[in-house]
Amino acid sequence: MGGEVYDGDIMEMPERKELLGLVPTATYGDHLPQEGERGGALHLSSILPALSSAIGHPVPTAVHDDPKNLQYALGFPDVRSAIVVLVDGLGFWNLTDRIGHAPYLRSLMKDEANRRPISTCAPSTTTAAMGTFGTGTCPGLTAMAGYTQLAPARDRLIQLIQFKDPLAPRTNGPVVPIIDPHDLQRQDTIFEALTAQGVRVTSSGLAKFKGSPLSEAALRGSKYIANVTPRERVRAAAEAARKPGLSYLYIRDADKVGHSSGWDSDKWIAAFEHIDAQLALLAREAPKGTLIVITADHGMVNADPSKRIDIACEPVLQQGVRFVGGEPRAVMLYADDDPEAVAERWRDFLEDRALVRTKAQAMTDGLFGTVSERVEPMLGDVIVQAVDEVTIVDSRTQADKATRLPSVHGSQTMMEMDIPCIVDVA
């Protein structure tokens, strides 16, 4: 990895060791982070509350009391209409490392304010981040804390993309959620709060995501417009912005191609170029004066096959563990033994390959933000966050392909936690 040169400026890339090392746990709140601190107002959870203030209808949340202060901190001007774009998997440093392939984004990155990353939530994964983004709160309140987590009332794991049992055999028919998304995620969304004020809120995306369990949990409350092609989806978001209010556009390709081919592959670069073209089209099509904010849910790191750890092959890692939840970079262990004993065995085995904390330690550190009494039993008794290019999988219950993805995310490294918050005005 190295700096991309353009117009006499250099986008500086940190050294690989720094990018793949753990960073301080991000905080939640309305303050600007102090030196050495991450998060606060510069956090994924801040974006929608800040935008609600920018369009004149401020919505406070359980972790953000002052939407106007968030608006100032993130640099959003007052506007009649705004469009927020979430590009799944396009971390700040993934974007920076390939900025030479993105003329529109490159032009925006000349603004120093756009060259400042903000923080996503932990775990740095889509299910947790969508809940954090959509509600303006944190995983400890949304009850969306990982790709898979325990459903205590059912005493089994639940996968939070489709709200299904991850161990159930695949079928050709529709997936029936085993938990009502509205019952699991009980925080009001920003979209719901704005709609209740009579504000126009529009989501533009694929038909398959309309009314999906994840959408209902994290992003309910908007009018959803489904279209087949990326161009149609971009134009729908731009057209909706002609009326005052908020538009949301979701772009999934960076994450999808990253998982299938690797985030630094030729296929990923081609997808990134296509994403940049979509964003440029949005800027051209949006009504003059529309605020456009571009962000992401997480970054991505490459997985080194030689550093893959399979729990199925390591009896010591199975000892005292009932369920293995989370994902390969952020594992949640549900114990039938003393959690500290389980954590100690994992620390001894993994050494410097991961940070291992008990749930109590992780909560004290603020990893999930504020944790409600209802959500606490859903969290793993032991939380394991991988560093470098390490993945931790379990071939007893996970499909082989899922344990060997070329690029992954979920941990607390700089590469995974830093996301863009890029501002443009059409």
d(Cα 242, Cα 107) in Å, to the nearest integer?
25
d(Cα 199, Cα 52) in Å, to the nearest integer?
10
For the chain, the maximum distance between any two Cα atoms, rounded to a whole number of angstroms, is 61
Token pair for 114: 């756009």
β partners of residue 401 = none
Token pair for 392: 């931790």
Which pLDDT value is given to residue 10?
54
Alpha helices in 310-421, H assignment, sequence order: 315-318, 339-350, 359-364, 414-417
Token pair for 83: 């469009």
Q: What is the pLDDT of residues 98-115, one digit of tens each?
A: 999 999 999 999 999 999
Token pair for 286: 């949006």
**From the centroid of its chain, how far is CA 250?**
12
d(Cα 200, Cα 198) in Å, to the nearest integer?
7
State which amino acid sits at residue 93: W
Which pLDDT value is given to residue 172?
72
- In the predicted model, residues of the chain with pLDDT beneath 70 are 1-10, 173
Token pair for 70: 């968030």
Q: How many helices (H) and strands (E) does the chain have?
A: 17, 22
What CATH number was assigned to the domain covering residues 305-408? 3.30.1360.180
DSSP state of 181: H
Which pLDDT value is given to residue 8?
43
Torsion of CA 133, 139, 142, 143, to 10 degrees: 140
Q: Is 132 within 8 Å of 123 (Cβ atoms)?
A: no
Which pLDDT value is given to residue 166?
87
Place of tokens 């960073």: 23
129 conformational bin, left if phi > 0, alpha if psi -120 to 50, beta if neither: alpha
d(Cα 421, Cα 84) in Å, to the nearest integer?
10
Domain 4-302+414-425 has CATH 3.40.720.10: yes
Tell me what the pLDDT averaged over the chain comes to. 95
Q: What is the pLDDT of residues 326-365, one digit of tens each?
A: 999 999 999 998 999 999 999 999 999 999 999 999 999 9
β partners of residue 150 = 157
Burial classification of residue 8, based on how many CB atoms lie within 10 Å of its CB (0-12 exposed, 13-18 middle, 19 or more buried): exposed
d(Cα 26, Cα 18) in Å, to the nearest integer?
17
Which pLDDT value is given to residue 9?
56
State which amino acid sits at residue 309: I
Q: Residues of the chain with pLDDT > 70: what percent? A: 97
Domain ranges of the chain: 4-302+414-425, 305-408
Q: Is 418 within 8 Å of 367 (Cβ atoms)?
A: no
Q: Is 254 within 8 Å of 275 (Cβ atoms)?
A: yes
Which pLDDT value is given to residue 5?
41
